[in-house]
């Protein structure tokens, strides 16, 4: 059996701000931009990984969701309680400086972790935590 990663979803409340972060700062390429019933899904991914996609979607991408559920998801997103993604980089410190210089909201400066990586963390414009880690040599 051959199972490979294909897509993950990140909730965003403003696709244009999200694109300014994921495309313009991180350098991900836009692969698809689809609208449906006042909602929008934008697929981005690393140029070096054409088969890996991150879908930027509305906080509750269900046109049949109740207004109460939509508000609850928007509140969780605003608090930064929805999960983001972890990227791997070959130079955590340079990645950190690039994103910080571009205005990224710093959550954690680069530091060595006990589980074998050097990592840093930012919030994207919607409040999701995005981490960047670099494997350390043993």
Encode burial over 83-100: b for 16+ CB neighbours within 10 A, e otherwise. Answer: ebeebebeebeebbebbe
Q: What is the pLDDT of residue 39?
A: 83
- The mean pLDDT of 79-86, rounded to a whole number, is 82
Q: What is the pLDDT of residue 114?
A: 94
Beta bridge partners of 101: none
Q: Is the dihedral of CA 71, 77, 83, 88 positive or negative?
A: positive
pLDDT at 138 over 70: no
Residue 84 confidence class, pLDDT cut points 50, 70, 90: confident
What distance in Å separates the CA atoms of residue 44 and residue 32, rounded to the nearest whole number? 7
What distance in Å separates the CA atoms of residue 42 and residue 35, rounded to the nearest whole number? 9
pLDDT at 62 over 90: no
What distance in Å separates the CA atoms of residue 39 and residue 121, rounded to the nearest whole number? 28
CA angle, 78 then 35 then 64, to 5°: 65
């Amino acid at each position: 059996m051959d199972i490979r990663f294909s897509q993950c979803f990140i909730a965003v409340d403003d696709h244009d701000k999200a694109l300014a972060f994921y495309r313009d700062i991180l350098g991900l390429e836009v692969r698809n931009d689809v609208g449906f019933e006042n909602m929008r899904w934008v697929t981005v991914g690393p140029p070096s990984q054409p088969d890996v996609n991150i879908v930027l979607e509305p906080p509750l991408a269900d046109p049949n969701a109740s207004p109460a559920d939509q508000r609850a998801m928007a509140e969780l997103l605003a608090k930064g309680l929805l999960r983001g993604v972890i990227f791997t980089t070959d130079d955590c410190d340079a990645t950190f400086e690039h994103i910080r210089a571009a205005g990224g909201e710093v959550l954690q400066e680069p530091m060595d972790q006990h589980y074998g990586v050097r990592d840093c963390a930012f919030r994207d414009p919607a409040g999701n935590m995005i981490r960047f880690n670099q494997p350390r040599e043993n």
